[in-house]
Amino acid sequence: MTTPDLPDWYALLPSALDLKMGFEPIELSAERVVGRMPVTGNTQPLGLWHGGASGVLIETLGSIGANLHAGEGYVAVGVDLNATHHRTARSGWVTGTATALRLGRTVATYEVVLVDDDGQRVCTGRLTCQVVPDRR
């Protein structure tokens, strides 16, 4: 899979954690964000995809979408994250799709579905972000 040409503004978004975990963006919009992470390097001691890696992927995808929605002069910060783990992955990639459930003036909520290379659901998550003025 090749990474798409990314807009210039995306250069400001990746965090050190995203880079460390091997996050690769695939599709970026406020309504839908798709990206993936390799299983290798993101496992727990038994060699299985780590549930915390699911949390990171959910938070990364939803936060990108929410920040795109927030617009200039605002940022979106996570206020609620939940995840239900359905199965594990042992190799390959876990791909996530964040779909906006609500894009309001002050709150953005995403449902995030993570699947393995066979399209089997690994995890279902939800992220809610608060939109606040950017005071950096």
Active site residues: 59
- Nearest-angstrom CA–CA distance, 47 and 124: 21
Pairing between β-strand 32-38 and β-strand 93-103 as defined by DSSP bridges: antiparallel
Instruction: List, in order, residues 6 or more apart from 124 with CB less than 8 Å away.
Output: 83, 84, 86, 111, 112, 113, 114
Q: In this structure, how many other beta carbons lie within 10 angstroms of the beta carbon of residue 126?
A: 17
Neighbouring C-alpha atoms within 13 Å toward the C-beta of 124:
4
SS3 of the chain: helix, strand, coil, percent, to 5: 20, 45, 35
